[in-house]
Structure 1
Amino acid sequence: CVCQLISVFQISWIRRRDFHVLTSSMFTYTNDERFQVLHPEGSDDWTLQIKYVQERDNGTYECQCTTESTAETAILFTPMGCMRDPEAGNIDSIAGKFSQNTRCLKIFHKIETMGESIYFYKWILSHFVNLNIVIPEAFILGSDEHHVDVGSIINLVCIIEKSPTPPQYVFWYHNNRMINYDTTRGSVTVQTDPGPTQSRLTIRQAVETDTGNYTCSASNTKPASIFVFVTEGKYKQRISYKANFLNQYNPIAIVPAVS
């Protein structure tokens, strides 16, 4: 936010969702330590910094620049964004909304003192910023169920989309056990390729105990799951097996690490 004012009365960042004043000048008015204002000395820039952004940070933020003056000095202390014709000094017809992202209001009040009327002007220049939080998504190719025969190969592919940076890790789980580095069987391999991130789980010579819930969990996404059947029986037997299996195990809930 740029506030080009000769005399600044107050500069604030406001979250429009709940009209919470997050910062005023260099002070922070929230218990959320992720928020702070950055203002290089001598500059006109006032930057609201949000660390470790979350989905709930999505929305509109307002930078409000406020200054106050008397009628005699109003033209000197008018925010640059409010001056349509500064050379003419036409300040009486400036109040209003100029664009979708900028609004300028002029408020004045009169004080009677020593038989004279003194007019005070308050300018409020607002800049609006829409913050759109992109949530990375993970999904496993195919339907919710995957059927393979005993002795065949299980191939599962997990795709990570809408991620501004590649995830720090992608872990695969069979039920509640992480299997990226499974040494009990030499037939389990995991290959992860960047941009867009794609992780492939391969299990050779599948056995019936490989049946279960498989979860792909990346560092910056919600996990994605698929149920795999490894049987030699008919489809009805697989459905019955799944019902019995789900009574014993629940899909794991993994909280992605904050990077």
Structure 2
Amino acid sequence: MSQSKIRRRGRRRRWEKSSFFPFSISALMRDWTLKIKYVQPRDAGIYECSVSTHPPSSIFVTLEFVEAQAKIVGGPEKFYKAGSSMELRCDLIDSTEEPEYVFWYQASLTLLFSLI
């Protein structure tokens, strides 16, 4: 299927060709699926599945784009005495899935990575 999008303006809907919105629609009997590859922030918005019955029937879904962030718990600086031990904790915020790897760096040196 070619790349295209549906633009809704008021009560009018229009199909448009698009190079920035790759999606595919598969139809199997009564099951219609919209798949968007490589979701980007610009894909956020309201999507509508409309059935051409009389009266027309629609379902709306809001897609929000969430970007995960890693944050080291505590302040930006930590001070320790020489010879003491330290522990740093990294929290993942707004993640929609568990990461495959966690990396720790000191400057450009990789200190540790782990498989979750």
Provide the secondary structure at the position in 1 that maps to 2:79: strand
- Bigger helix share: 1
Asked whether the equivalents of residues 14 and 62 of structure 1 are also in contact (C-alpha less than 8 Å), the reply is no
**Which whole-Å CA distance do the structure 1 matches of 2:86 and 2:61 have between them?**
48
Is 1:167 the counterpart of 2:99? The answer is yes
Q: What RMSD, in angstroms, separates the aligned Cα atoms of the two structures? A: 3.2
Asked whether the equivalents of residues 15 and 62 of structure 1 are also in contact (C-alpha less than 8 Å), the reply is no
Cα pair distance change 1:127/1:191, threshold 3 Å: closer
TM-score between the two structures when normalised by the length of structure 2: 0.70
Letter in 2 for 1:157: R
Asked whether the equivalents of residues 14 and 63 of structure 1 are also in contact (C-alpha less than 8 Å), the reply is no
| Number of aligned residue pairs | 110
Unaligned runs of 5+ in 1: 1-11, 23-28, 67-78, 83-103, 105-124, 181-189, 195-259
Is 1:55 the counterpart of 2:53? The answer is no
The structural deviation recorded for 1:36 is: 1.1
Unaligned runs of 5+ in 2: none
Asked whether the equivalents of residues 102 and 114 of structure 2 are also in contact (C-alpha less than 8 Å), the reply is no
The sequence identity of aligned pairs, in percent, is 37
Asked whether the equivalents of residues 61 and 129 of structure 1 are also in contact (C-alpha less than 8 Å), the reply is yes
Asked whether the equivalents of residues 58 and 133 of structure 1 are also in contact (C-alpha less than 8 Å), the reply is yes
Larger radius of gyration: 1
Partner in structure 1 of residue 65 of structure 2: 133
**Where in structure 2 are the equivalents of 1:113-128 lying within 5 Å?**
126-128=58-60
Partner in structure 1 of residue 31 of structure 2: 45
Provide the secondary structure at the position in 2 that maps to 1:56: helix
**Which whole-Å CA distance do the structure 2 matches of 1:31 and 1:13 have between them?**
10
**Which whole-Å CA distance do the structure 2 matches of 1:62 and 1:137 have between them?**
30
Cα pair distance change 1:142/1:31, threshold 3 Å: same
Provide the secondary structure at the position in 1 that maps to 2:19: coil
**Which whole-Å CA distance do the structure 1 matches of 2:78 and 2:7 have between them?**
46
TM-score between the two structures when normalised by the length of structure 1: 0.35
